[in-house]
Amino acid sequence: MEKEKIIEILNEWNYWNRPLPFTYSREKYESEIDKKYKTGEIIFLKGVRRSGKSTILINHIKNLLNEGVAKENILFVNLEDPRFAPYLNLELLEEIKNAYIYYLNPRSKPHIFLDEIQNIDEFEKWLLKEYELKSSFLYATGSNSKLLSKEIGSSLSGRYLDILVYPLSFKEFLSFKGKRVANEFEYITNKLEIERLFEEFMNYGGFPKIVLTEDSETKKAELRSYFDSILLRDIVARYKLDNFLKLEQLAILLLSNISNLVSNNKLKNILQVSYETIEKYFEYLQNAFLIFTVKKFDWSLKKQMANAKKVYSIDTGLSKRVSFEVGKRRGDLLENIVFLELKRRYEEIFYYKTKEHYEVDFLIKENELLTHLIQVSVTLSDEKTLKREIRSLIKAKQELRCDAKLMILTMAESRKMNIENEEVEIVNIIQWLLFS
């Protein structure tokens, strides 16, 4: 590809001759990048398409400029620009860098940002070369966990640090809406407005552009576009699938059954495809960060693998948009929101079912300790519901013989209860999301 054409494309994506755009801050990720890039390791941002990875990089560029890094020392490359499409190979990366150096002549070690790097086959070879030469600070984003893990895990082992980017948390959502809630007093005095915003968060999710869009019909159209784009660009094109319809049907089935147990055998029968196809498509949907699965806890890994798994969505708004059923089940949406927050906080998340079939929504394992048993319930106004949720927690704790904290997350008011010498903490979901 000619140098002139390359620099023409790059100039449209970079800020060498123009100011950076206004962007909303995502402090958690920006702070993490700031700490990690100084190690000299390659920084990878992974996550579902449209979760805000590129904007987080732009915010880091702003921080670099504030630290005194010159504009010409920063190169941002969008590898999804259609003008690069015919040339997506290792040679293109070298040509891009050469054109950049030729025209910009950076005076010190440049910061190179490669957006959606999985579009380049064997990209890890180029990154390894650059890393070994120590000629650049390197950053990359990607929307496919399997490809990134496979390709960087072997060639770049010990040379990279990754960050998983999610759509907005509820705290970030409020910030994007211009509503910062720093403490309990601010929550109590703005409770009605915060509860209204939580309903919007639950119904439309946390994709940044969706959050900033006012019109509800536009939100719905955008969410459907995101869903189609994830399937077509991150799965069908990447894995060269020829049966889009079955993939789409499986995705819709799973997003319609968030917070519930799913069986590959049942899915196979519903879709009239082989068990192997279900397994393969299931894996692709997880690799694209569209869905997550949670296993039943057991100290035996073999038993974990054999038991049915629960499925969750990357975003409740996305689930509601493609499913007719999930919008009717408020409890499933709340449980999915709790799951995503737990994913941000903990590495090992399970569900649990006792021998007497008492089920606990979430079990948290930290190192070798079982630290939390958590139920999610819309309301506890019904005495039977309250007793059932508490009984499940206590039975699970007794059976597991652990010292886990017992918690029920609900839309009701927070309080503590002592039952059978066990303390059960009932916590309002909104307060838990904001302050715990």
What are the tens digits of pLDDT across the range 377-431?
999 988 999 999 999 999 999 999 999 999 999 999 999 999 989 999 999 999 9
Which residue's structure tokens are 């995101």?
Answer: 226
DSSP string, 121-147: TTHHHHHHHHHHHT-SEEEEEES-HHH
pLDDT exceeds cutoff 90 at 219: yes
Q: How far apart are CA 263 and CA 261, in angstroms?
A: 7
| Percentage, residues of the chain above pLDDT 70 | 98
The answer to whether residue 320 scores a pLDDT higher than 80 is: yes
pLDDT in tens, 65-124: 999 999 999 999 999 999 999 999 999 999 999 999 999 999 999 999 999 998 998 899
Delimit the CATH 3.40.50.300 region(s) of the chain: 3-165
Q: Residues with Cβ < 8 Å from 183, sequence gap 6 or more?
A: 435
Q: What is the pLDDT of residue 146?
A: 61
* Whether 25 contacts 66, CB under 8 Å: no
Domain 3-165 = CATH 3.40.50.2000: no
pLDDT interval class at 155 (50, 70, 90) = confident
pLDDT of residue 345: 97
Tell me the per-residue pLDDT of 341-383, one tens digit each, with 9 for 90 and over. 999 999 999 999 999 999 999 999 999 999 999 999 999 988 9
For residue 145, pLDDT over 80 is answered with no
Residue 411 phi, psi dihedral angles, 5° rounding: -85, -5
Contact by Cβ (8 Å): 45, 159: no
What number of H helices and E strands is found in the chain?
Answer: 20, 14
How would you classify the pairing of strands 291-296 and 160-164? unpaired
pLDDT range class, residue 128, cuts 50, 70, 90 = very high
Q: Is pLDDT above 90 for 149?
A: no
pLDDT at 11 over 70: yes
Query: Buried (b) or exposed (e) across 213-236, using 16+ Cβ within 10 A?
Result: beeeeebbebbeebbeebbebbbb
pLDDT band with cut points at 50, 70 and 90 for residue 238: confident
Contact present, 220 and 321 (Cβ < 8 Å): yes
- Given a cut of 90, whether residue 314 has pLDDT beyond it is yes
58 or 144, greater pLDDT: 58
CA atoms within 13 A on the CB side of 311: 24
Q: What is the mean pLDDT of the chain?
A: 95
Orientation angle between helical segments 123-133 and 145-155, nearest 10 degrees = 40
- The C-alpha angle 271, 272, 277, rounded to 5 degrees, equals 80
Render pLDDT for 161-185 as a digit per residue (tens, 0 to 9). 999 999 999 999 999 999 999 999 9
Does the pLDDT value for residue 328 go beyond 70?
no
* pLDDT at residue 150, as a whole number: 63
Burial of 58 by CB count in 10 Å (0-12 exposed, 13-18 middle, 19+ buried)?
A: middle
Q: What is the pTM of this model?
A: 0.95
Percentage with pLDDT > 90 across the chain: 90
Could you tell me which of 286, 288, 328, 287 has the C-alpha nearest to residue 311? 286
Q: What is the pLDDT of residues 248-266, one digit of tens each?
A: 999 999 999 999 999 999 9
Residue 223 predicted with pLDDT over 90: yes
The pLDDT of residue 157 is above 90: no
> What pLDDT is stored for residue 58 in this prediction?
97
Tens of pLDDT along 26-57?
A: 999 999 999 999 999 999 999 999 999 999 99
| Residue from 95, 246, 239, 193 nearest 430 by CA | 193
3-state class of 68 per DSSP?
coil
As given in the structure block, the two tokens for residue 261 are 């147990």
- Hey, what are 329's tokens? 């089940």
